Amino acid sequence: MKKITVDEFWNWFSSKSEFLMDIDNLEDNESEILMNEFSEVLESYSEGMGFEIGPLTSQGREIVFSAEGDQDYFDDVIELCTNTPILDFWDIIAFKQPKGPKVKINFEGYSLNSKDVWFMPLENEDDLDYDLMGLRIALKGHKQDDEDQLIAVYSLIEEMIGEYDCATLIGYFDITELPQEPEKEGYIPLLQLQEYVDWHINKIEGKADNK
């Protein structure tokens, strides 16, 4: 349950805007207190949301508000970001954005590089969920039933295609060991995943238009 409204959150943010913009120049204890306060106020608005403040540029800073991949909090992110007041030098962004095909991530001892990973689209036999994708991910060193590896792979995909598409389009994925000749077995380089996602979205829109 929300403890504060979206307007109350932005009133707080506006009151701290100058300090947040200049956070790199604050004393360590001051910046830590401010960031902790930011987290607490945001949690009072939506307990499932997170944020990331970008580096200072000549245009100011950006803040990405995220639901951490949990669709239960997507509406909160959308509500917050669509009710942003006029804020000089701040760019407010809803959801973690795609970072492109060439991505590396490290998680719990796993180091993954998108150029070393392959995928295979899986057929969805449930016509009710035609808008969801299934993916089989192939990589070297696959470990059966390893949750950390599963999270690492999901994080890699999220970095590549963005939080919103990753959460709303991928209905199922699994991991397998990379075969010696992946292309011959029907696998596609993960570097081409965004192209497949774009094709899938066009297919969904085309099917919806034909209803």
Q: DSSP of 105-146, one letter per residue?
A: EEETTEEEEGGG-EEEEE----GGGTT-EEEEEEETT--TT-
Q: What is the predicted pLDDT for the residue at 86?
A: 93
- The whole-number average pLDDT for the span 202-209 is 75
Question: Where among 60, 94, 128 does a domain terminate?
Answer: 94
Query: Could you list the residue range(s) of the whole structural domain that residue 113 is in?
Result: 104-209
Question: Where among 94, 123, 150 does a domain terminate?
Answer: 94
Q: What is the predicted pLDDT for the residue at 51?
A: 98
Burial code of 25-59, b = ≥16 C-beta within 10 A, e = fewer? eeeeeebeeeeeebeebbeebbebbbbebeeeeee
Asked whether residue 16 is assigned to any structural domain, the reply reads yes
Do the Cβ atoms of 49 and 67 come closer than 8 Å?
Answer: yes
Q: What is the predicted pLDDT for the residue at 211?
A: 58
Write down the residue that tokens 């598409």 correspond to.
Answer: 165
Q: How many domains does the chain have?
A: 2
Residues β-bridged to residue 65:
51, 94
pLDDT digits (tens, 9 = 90+) for 14-38: 999 999 999 999 999 999 999 999 9
Do the Cβ atoms of 168 and 77 come closer than 8 Å?
Answer: no
For residue 124, pLDDT beyond 80? no
> In percent, how much of the chain has pLDDT > 70?
94
Provide the 8-state DSSP code for 96. P
Do the Cβ atoms of 99 and 160 come closer than 8 Å?
Answer: yes
Q: What is the mean pLDDT of the chain?
A: 93
pLDDT digits (tens, 9 = 90+) for 153-179: 999 999 999 999 999 999 999 999 999
Q: Tell me which H or E stretch contains 163.
A: helix 163-169
Question: Where among 68, 94, 120 does a domain terminate?
Answer: 94
For residue 126, pLDDT beyond 80? no
Asked whether residue 99 is assigned to any structural domain, the reply reads no
- The whole-number average pLDDT for the span 116-131 is 78
Whether residue 203 sits in one domain with residue 108: yes
What ranges make up the beta strands (E) of the chain? 50-53, 61-66, 90-94, 104-107, 110-113, 118-122, 133-139, 170-177, 188-189
- Residue 88's pLDDT band (boundaries 50, 70, 90)? very high
Whether residue 90 sits in one domain with residue 108: no
- The whole-number average pLDDT for the span 58-77 is 96
Euclidean distance between CA atoms 51 and 47, whole angstroms = 12
Euclidean distance between CA atoms 57 and 60, whole angstroms = 5
- The whole-number average pLDDT for the span 88-101 is 97
